[in-house]
Each structure stands twice: as structure tokens, then as C-alpha cells.
Amino acid sequence: MLQEKKNTGLLRWMTFFALIVAALPMALTWRATGGMQAPDLSPRNWANPPGVEWVHPDEIAVQLRPGADENTLADLSRKFGASVQFNHAASEEGDRRTVAKLAVPTGVDPQTLIADLEKDPRVEVADVVHIFTTPVELAPAPHPANDAPAPEKGFKPNDPRYGEQWNFQMIKMEEAWLKSKGKGAIVAVIDTGVAYENNKKGIRARDFAETKFTKGLDVVNGDSMPNDDQGHGTHVAGTIAESTNNKEGVAGIAFEATIMPIKVLSATGGGSSADIGEGIRWAADHGAKIINMSLGGPFPDKLMRSACTYAAKKGVTIVCAAGNSGREGVGYPAAFPECIAVSSVGPKGDLSFYSTWGKEVAIAAPGGDKQVGGESGGILQNTINRDSDGKLTDDYFAYQGTSMASPHVAGVAALIVSEGVTDPKDVKAILQKSAQSKSPSNKYGAGILDASSAVKLAGSFNNDRSGRFWMVGLLFVGCFLVGKTRQKSGAEGGYPFWGTAAIAFGLLFPDWLSNYLGMTSPLNIVGHSILIPGALLVMGVQGKMERRLVGWMAFGLLTHLGWEFLHGTVPVGFEVSFWQLLPWVGANIVVGLGLLIAGLEGSRD
């Protein structure tokens, strides 16, 4: 008995110190990555494009709380001495409007008026109107035909100019298409609109005949026909879901996904924070699971931040262009923590000459670089453009910009959502964990987008979990049959229920925890370890049965951890390399086996 207590005490202390030592690299990584630091929301040092003023200081946009009506506006107008009007007219379906604007009265300080507005319980947030633009680096030009062959690997679409899409080869689309094509995902393109149908306002681009569209919104003109009158939004939508394998033009990434066109930018490529904020909320309210915003500006507008927070809470993944300033200082909305900021690389995988960079960059994707690849170094998609007579033309054009990089990430996000992973934090984690490694992180984030690895990783989370549930079911059935066989042979004891339940807990608890917390929570490290049985031992678990259960629980948790480690799916909640994770896994193996052996030896006493 004395020897047993001595061995148990020694195992407790070994467990305690092993876990402390193993946690050190994880803690250092958490500290190095900044932990839960507050985001930097300072204005960025961007030059003003010709004819663009980033701030309209004499005009205020107001985000009203739900339930606002014309009476609310009349009351606010009387209270603040300025005419408060809804941002746009009601749509045909009577969609609720919650964004209003007012002109600052002469002699009134705008910041004082904003502070007073935000004290009103009917107002969520207010800010001066900021302008955001489509950051295309150069004017488009028709892309010459290129007969360069595409690699024979995976699913290869029959679109005749697919071979010119070097960008799809870079992110390994052909392998990704074998697993997902984006079916069921709705992607809102918040931009200049999309050439999605032939009507009185515009045309449908030729290579969108098979692309799926859902109801959209034109915030600029206040109607439900968000036709593109500029070309930028159609090009962006093409990268995401242009009709594919239809023997026409080029391909799109998630060509079985559905596009929700939302026009917030005018024919000149600019739009107000009020319009964009309204478009974001509308998309979130009407079923979008991914939002792409290939637009930006240097100011952290409060209305847009509020809208992004609203959408993220409703389960929308928001992907944004980092900007085309060619310098450090990721623009907005990309720099908001609710958004995935995307920098751009050219044909050789290096940062494009125009790409903005900074610590907020989450990932890099092909955006084109004509300084490196000439005209063929751009991103080729079908879109519309206006000729010298102002007539809309429909052709294939090569654009470059972080505007083109962002929809690559949005398209792959649609593939991930189609695989059943919908939480925005989980989608971002998968995008980053699967990225092709590239340094430094302030230019490339987690690395260059890898569609094939992202889809495989997304599928592994769901498939692995369903596999473990089947494993637990078979475990219970197997133990039951063994117990019955032993009973028939005259052996004592039957179905080892509690031991099986302990193993099942170890196999399933980590999945339950990550489902509850999300894959990005640092607390997942508790579930994906033998910390729980180790803590039970350190706290003084006694008795043969209890020790046995602790051992079997450790075995289940250890099996789960080993499986996810080998598949690269351990949701530790922050960026960590294989070598940083290895000490933790190694310590868990040593201590977990010790707990299992101690439990089995205890069963013989």
C-alpha cells in the first residue's frame, strides 16, 4: 500500500511538471502573436486619388437602431436642429432602413453633434461621411489570347481561356474542385454592382449565363436592380463564380456558389460609408455567408465598423482588399478585426508592387503584377467596360490590384462554407492554417492562399468528427458483445460501461468544446490534451475504479490529440508551427501513457 501511494504521488508530480514544461512554448507563442491585443484603428497614410476627398466633414451618417421610422427622423430633426433623412428610398419590398444622414448646421462642431447624437437611445453610432473607392491599380486593357497549357491535375474545366489563369494554378484550384465547387454558399459582392441580367439598367456579361444569382440591392439608386455601370464589381464576381466548364471564356473559383450583387459604389468607383454600411447589413440580413469588399479608404469609419460587427455576429465571413497604396498601412474596412485583410502577389508569388501591407494582413492571394508578367500578369475575367463613346462593352479584361486578390479568398471561403464550416472565425482559421508558407507575415499574413489544402482541411474537421462518432458507437457495441461473451463463458463482470464511457468522453469532448468555443479559441488547448485526467490525478483521485477511469479517459483524449496532430487540425486558437506544437504533443503522450499504465496496473490490484 505504501509503495502504491508513493508511485501515485510520483506520477502526480511528473504529470504536473510535464504539463507546465510543455505549456511554455505555447505560452511564448501566444505572447509573441500579441494575444488579445486591441486593434489599431488609426487613420492610414494614403494619398488622395485625383478628384477624391476621403472625408465629408459637413455631412454625418447615423446608424439608427431597428424600429426607426419617419416619425423617428422628424423627432431627431427637431431635437438636433438639422434635417435627418433616410439614406435611400424604401425598396419595393419595404426593406427596413436604419441608416440616415444629415447636413451639419452652420457654426456647429461636427464632433460635438456626433457625440450628442450617440447619446440618443435611438442611435447606435454616428460619424462624418467617409468615401471609399475601388482600388484598381491600372486601367483595364483587353487581355491577349494565350495558349499556355494548364497542368493536367484534378478537375480541369473546358473554358477555352482557362490556360491563361495562372492565378488558379498558383492556388491549386484543380485539386480543390475535386472536393468542392461552392454549392450552397451565398457570396455578397459589395461593389459597383454586377452585370447579372439584361434589363433597363444594364446587361448580363456573356460568361455569367450559368452563374447563380440571388436577390440584390442597389443602395446608390435605391432599387433592387444592382446592375454594374463601371465593370469593377463584375470582374470581382467573375473571380468568385464566373460560369465554368461551359466552353466559354474563363473559370470562376466557386462556380456553384450563388452571387448576391449589392451596388454601393457609383460609376466613378466611389461610395459613401453610409451606403456601404447599409449594404453590409442588408447582405447579412438576407442570407449571405461571405461578403467580399474590394474597396477601401484610410479612415476607420464607425458606421462601417458597426456594420461589420453586425454581420460577423450573424455568421458572415468578411473578406476585404488590403489596399493599393504600395506602402505600410492596411486600409479600412480590411483593417477591422472582423475582416480578413488580403494582400496581393504577382505571377512569381512575390508581393505586388502596388500592394498595401501591414500587421493586419491575414493572407495573400493572386492580384496580378504587370510589372512582372506584362499584360498576361494581370487577373483575367469577363466584365464590362465603357468604350470611347460611353457604350458598355462586354469582353475579357486583365485587371490588377488587391481588389482582384480579395475575391480569390472569398471564393475559397465559399468552398469552405460549402463543406459545412460556417463560423467566420473557423473559416479564417482554415484559410490561414492551409496557406502556403511565405514570409514576412506583415506582407503575406499566414502565407499564399491554397484552395486545395483549405478544402481538405475544412472537410477533415467535419469528416473526422463524424468518424469519431461512429468510432464511439462501434466501441460501445464491441464492448457490449465482449461483455456478453464473457458472461456466457462464466467470467465475472459483463459490459464494461464506465470504462467505455471514459474513452468516449476522451474521444468526443474536444469536438464538443471546439464546437462550443469555435476553432480559434485558445481554450481548445484544454480539450485537446490530457489536462483534465492529469488534473484529476493531481487533485488526488483514489481507488482502483477511479484510477482506471482516469487512464481510459487519458487514452481517449490522447487518441484524439494524436489524430488531429497528424492531420494538422489541432485548433490551438493562434498561429503555431509544427515544432512549437511538438513539445506539447510529446508531453501529452508521455503523461497520457503514464496515466493509462497506472490505471491498468491499478485494475490488477
Task: Name which of 351, 474, 366 is nearest 412 in CA terms.
Answer: 366
Using CA atoms, how far apart are residues 381 and 231, in angstroms rounded to an integer? Answer: 11
Using CA atoms, how far apart are residues 590 and 459, in angstroms rounded to an integer? Answer: 30
Task: Name which of 205, 594, 603, 253 is nearest 414 in CA terms.
Answer: 253
- 8 Å CB contact between 186 and 214: yes
Using CA atoms, how far apart are residues 593 and 600, in angstroms rounded to an integer? Answer: 10
Secondary structure (DSSP) of 547-599: HHHHHHHHHHHHHHHHHHHHHT----SS---HHHHHHHHHHHHHHHHHHHHHH
Max intra-chain CA distance, the chain: 97
Catalytic residue among 191, 369, 426, 450: 191
Catalytic residue among 325, 344, 355, 403: 403
Which set of grid coordinates corresponds to residue 467? 468518424
Catalytic residue among 232, 235, 408, 528: 232
Is residue 452 annotated as part of the catalytic site, yes or no? no
Q: Is the previous residue joined to 142 through a cis bond, with omega within 30 degrees of 0?
A: no
Q: What is the 3-state secondary structure (H, E, C) of 460-494?
A: HHHHHHHHHHHHHHHHHHHHHHHHHHHHHCCCCCC
Is residue 286 annotated as part of the catalytic site, yes or no? no
- 8 Å CB contact between 378 and 116: no
CA angle 358, 364, 369 (to 5 degrees): 100
Contacting residues for 367 by C-beta, under 8 A, at least 6 apart: 342, 343, 344, 345, 346, 352, 355, 379, 400, 401, 402, 403, 404, 405, 406, 408
The H-assigned helical ranges of 211-320 are 232-241, 273-285, 302-313
C-alpha pair distances (Å), 228 with each of 322, 398, 499: 23, 17, 63
- 8 Å CB contact between 469 and 515: no
Which set of grid coordinates corresponds to residue 42? 488609426
Is residue 528 annotated as part of the catalytic site, yes or no? no
Active site residues: 191, 232, 403
